[in-house]
A and B are shown apart, each in its own frame.
Chain A
Amino acid sequence: MNLQPVPFLEVERISKRFPGVKALSEVSLAVGVGESIAVIGENGAGKSTLMKILAGIQQPDSGTIRIDGKPVEIRGVPAAQRLGIALIHQELNLCDNLSIGANIFLGREPRQFGWISQSEINAQSRKYLEQVGLDVDPRTLLAELSIGQQQLVEIAKALSCNARLLIMDEPTSSLSAREVERLFSVIQSLRESGVSIVYISHRLSEVHQVCDRVVALRDGQNSGGLSREEITHDNMVRLMVGRDLDQFYARQSLTPGDVVLAAKGLRTRDNPTHAINFQLRSGEIVGLAGLVGAGRTELLEALFGVQPAVAGTIEVAGRTASIRSARDAIAHEIFLVPEDRKLQGLVLPMDVGQNTSLPGLHRLSYFSWIDSRSEQKLADDMVKRMRVKTPSTRQIIQYLSGGNQQKVVIAKWLAMNPKVLLLDEPTRGIDVGAKHEIYELMEELARRGVAILFVSSEMEEVLGMADRVLVMHEGALSGELTRAQLSEEAVMTLATGQQMKTI
């Protein structure tokens, strides 16, 4: 009776635990031959863990994986390759000092009498390059290709391993609009030849364009699926966030106060050709949107002085401030919660208390002698106030979950009464609960008159939290949207460098 073909891949009730976090809990998934499904979910929902398990990078704690109906164990990346599964990472794994052909056959070079057969590499590579629609000589150095072309090389490499399932993790995050179109047509032709696709993206319009079906994850669990007809923005957001947006984001706009921070003709070191002008008022939450690489982080780092601006002025409360280092910014009560908390925000082997007190330690010491009682009190207060889930303030910070680590990074600055708080991707890689707490905190700080400027790549976050949105495109401020003008389309239009149509 059951005439349905066996799906290429079936994942059944997979679970995976990491210290402090349950990354996946009984997640199931199936992909048919030539089918394209989207896996959506917020950061920390478990998407990347699931993909790593499929690609053999991590092993599940329990559950079964079947390929062509037969249970398999994917132990290691080579095993995944043999089974026909290839993962195309967000960051490409290619050597740009080698030729295209050498990259495609890296580790599997065809040989003749023990020597690498260059002619064989070239001939084979041409075949695969043709399949992905890339008309370039395989002897070309990879470095000479654009990012979009490099990505196609990566796909060609996967095809050369006889990949039957391509997992693409945010493949369009650094592509131009034309490159995206090209990628989509390649995906289409691959599907016609029977290759299955698992597509991970935050860009909901792409999901609609490329995928037959949507599988949503939330907090490491299946939170539902959508058939092709059901794929709408609202449906996807509901599955990802688990509640309606207006409930999740508590933002109530207030009348902003005086201008506390102003950038006039500011030119960052990375994008010196564009002068940036904007103002930030006290009690205001301003979003800084744009594609990856648009120069948002560079702008925050210029304001915080870690990458000092090369020209222009920064005014704090109406007075010109010379900000050449983080210390200068801190002296003006401008604080940054950086993008990479492990690299820039925390000293991982130090404990919660020591991390919390680090920027303000001089205030807790007499002639540089640390008053350990005040330090302890500060740590206790902050852990309580930020609701950091930790056994004690003596816990080494690297053993906390991402959300709790992020709370500590924020706590560092909270103790020092911020005037301006710059947040770079404040909720990246943390669970929904902690996320919500961070939104509430931003809300509370704004009420107390702190000016907040936050960078976010999550559209929902930008739409939900910002009173006003500045959009960047290729190093320049391409526009500003008030709350009334705010929509996903408007932000994307500005972020991709197109002119706003008059509304």
Chain B
Amino acid sequence: MLKNIVLFLLIFAIFGVTSAISPTFASGYNLDIMARWTGLYGIMAIGAAFVIIAGGIDLSMGSMVALVGVQFGILINDQQMNPYAAMILVLIGASLIGLGYGLLITKLKLQPFVVTLCGLLVLRSLARFLAHDDKISNFVQPEGGTDISYLTGMDFCWIPLPLWMLAAVGIVSALVLNKTTFGRYLKALGNNEQAARYSGINTDLITIAAYMICAFLAGVSAILFAIDLNSVGPNEAGTFYELYAIAAAVLGGCSLRGGTGSILGVLLGTAILRELYQAIETLQFSELEGTVIGLVILAGVIADEIIRRVVDARRRRQEKGVPAEVPAKSS
């Protein structure tokens, strides 16, 4: 909880400092971009969080963004498909890829890192193949077709729609994670797969579900990215997005060892990363973007580790004061 408060304060601090240096940072235009892109990245980061909490990882999310985006554009442009039908179709496809990962990881006992690394390569090249290595554009408002630009462009109560979507996904995810058996099993298996299995939990099923959720949410954000840009380049789209998603999840308190993580933390983590990115752009030293973001994440992780040790030490000291366990009376 303390951590989330710190992250929250950090968001204001970055905002204050940057807009003091460069007032354009606080412009409506800038805020709008930040809000929209926080929404898009956040949905993906929540997907990453599910897999990370389950003790896994998905390195292929960026390639997934490219593949889903390309396929989505092709369906509308070349197949003249209704965009909503196209969405459903590509989301089913994305989930099936997640299913494939899950099966490979649980049934063949392959390492998630390796499986999704292969996914990263394969999905990206499939995207290039499908698009003939060319940009797919102008599918948002096709002539005589359905206009879907409102999905990322519109505001509701002065807040861009993607942020509302993120809020919805976030609330549902937080409830699933904290209030349902699925969420409990996910945390249990992420922390100690063996203990979960020995408790009769169908760990394979839960793991597969986590990868499917991750792929599905990557698909959702891929569609929104495509709509927002009205263009998908199979080479550029989504590059390094998996790392941003993982970074946001880690900054928000997910441990790559699995078992822990809060959705609110992930959302705050995403917001900070987007805000930092925007701030760096505004202040015009974008070549140092990686340095700043990398160091911020590192600082976050170090602070987390220090807090953990302090809390641990305090607990140990407290327990020293308590008398040792009273041995039960003998019979």
A positions within 8 Å CB-CB of B: 17, 19-22, 219, 242-243, 247-248, 250, 304, 306, 325-327, 329-330, 336, 338, 343-350, 354, 358-359, 361-362, 365, 368-370, 372, 387, 389, 399, 401, 403-404, 412, 431-434, 436-437
Taking a contact as CB atoms under 8 Å apart, the answer to whether B192 and A343 are in contact is yes
Contact flag A350-B327 (CB < 8 Å), given A370-B179, A399-B315: no
Instruction: Point out the residues of chain A lying under 8 angstroms from B331, CB to CB.
Output: 247-248, 250, 436
**How long is the Cα–Cα vector from A336 to B260 in the complex, in angstroms?**
27
B161 near A: Cβ within 8 Å? no
Taking a contact as CB atoms under 8 Å apart, the answer to whether A350 and B199 are in contact is no
Taking a contact as CB atoms under 8 Å apart, the answer to whether B330 and A243 are in contact is yes
Taking a contact as CB atoms under 8 Å apart, the answer to whether B188 and A348 are in contact is no
B107 near A: Cβ within 8 Å? no
Which of B198, B316, B326, B328 is within 8 Å of A338, CB to CB?
A: B198
Q: A327-B200, A354-B188 given. 15 additional CB < 8 A pairs?
A: A19-B315, A19-B316, A19-B320, A247-B330, A248-B330, A250-B331, A326-B198, A326-B200, A345-B198, A346-B192, A348-B192, A349-B191, A359-B201, A370-B179, A431-B325
- Residue from B191, B200, B260, B328 with most neighbouring chain A CB atoms (10 Å): B200
Give the shortest distance, in Å, between A381 (CB) and chain B (any CB): 18
B197 near A: Cβ within 8 Å? yes
Q: Mark each residue of chain B from 291 to 331: 1 if its CB lies under 8 Å from any CB of chain A, else 0.
A: 00000000000000000000000011001101011111011
Q: Mark each residue of chain B from 153 to 197: 1 if its CB lies under 8 Å from any CB of chain A, else 0.
A: 000000000000000000000000001111011011001101111
B83 near A: Cβ within 8 Å? no
Taking a contact as CB atoms under 8 Å apart, the answer to whether B202 and A368 are in contact is no
Give the shortest distance, in Å, between A255 (CB) and chain B (any CB): 24
Taking a contact as CB atoms under 8 Å apart, the answer to whether B195 and A346 are in contact is yes
Contact flag A350-B197 (CB < 8 Å), given A17-B324, A368-B181, A431-B327: no
**How long is the Cα–Cα vector from A412 to B201 in the complex, in angstroms?**
13
B positions within 8 Å CB-CB of A: 179-182, 184-185, 187-188, 191-192, 194-202, 259-260, 315-316, 319-320, 322, 324-328, 330-331
Taking a contact as CB atoms under 8 Å apart, the answer to whether A358 and B328 are in contact is no
Contact flag A350-B324 (CB < 8 Å), given A19-B315, A343-B192: no
Taking a contact as CB atoms under 8 Å apart, the answer to whether B198 and A344 are in contact is yes
The residue of chain B having its C-beta at the shortest distance from the C-beta of A343 within the complex is B194
Could you list 23 A-B pairs, sorted by A, with CB under 8 Å?
Answer: A20-B322, A20-B325, A326-B197, A326-B198, A329-B200, A330-B200, A336-B198, A338-B198, A344-B195, A345-B198, A346-B195, A347-B187, A349-B191, A349-B259, A350-B188, A359-B201, A361-B185, A368-B180, A389-B325, A404-B325, A432-B327, A433-B325, A433-B326
Taking a contact as CB atoms under 8 Å apart, the answer to whether B327 and A344 are in contact is no
Which of A243, A347, A348, A389 is within 8 Å of B196, CB to CB?
A: A347
The residue of chain A having its C-beta at the shortest distance from the C-beta of B260 within the complex is A349
Instruction: Point out the residues of chain A lying under 8 angstroms from B192, CB to CB.
Output: 343, 346-348
Taking a contact as CB atoms under 8 Å apart, the answer to whether B259 and A359 are in contact is no
**How long is the Cα–Cα vector from A437 to B322 in the complex, in angstroms?**
22
Contact flag A361-B181 (CB < 8 Å), given A306-B197, A327-B200, A348-B192: yes
Which of B202, B259, B320, B327 is within 8 Å of A327, CB to CB?
A: B202
Instruction: Point out the residues of chain A lying under 8 angstroms from B195, CB to CB.
Output: 343-347
Taking a contact as CB atoms under 8 Å apart, the answer to whether B181 and A306 are in contact is no
Contact flag A401-B184 (CB < 8 Å), given A17-B320, A350-B191, A358-B199: no
Instruction: Point out the residues of chain B lying under 8 angstroms from A350, CB to CB.
Output: 187-188, 191
Taking a contact as CB atoms under 8 Å apart, the answer to whether A362 and B325 are in contact is no
**How long is the Cα–Cα vector from A248 to B331 in the complex, in angstroms?**
7
Taking a contact as CB atoms under 8 Å apart, the answer to whether B180 and A20 are in contact is no
**How long is the Cα–Cα vector from A329 to B199 in the complex, in angstroms?**
10
Give the shortest distance, in Å, between A292 (CB) and chain B (any CB): 20
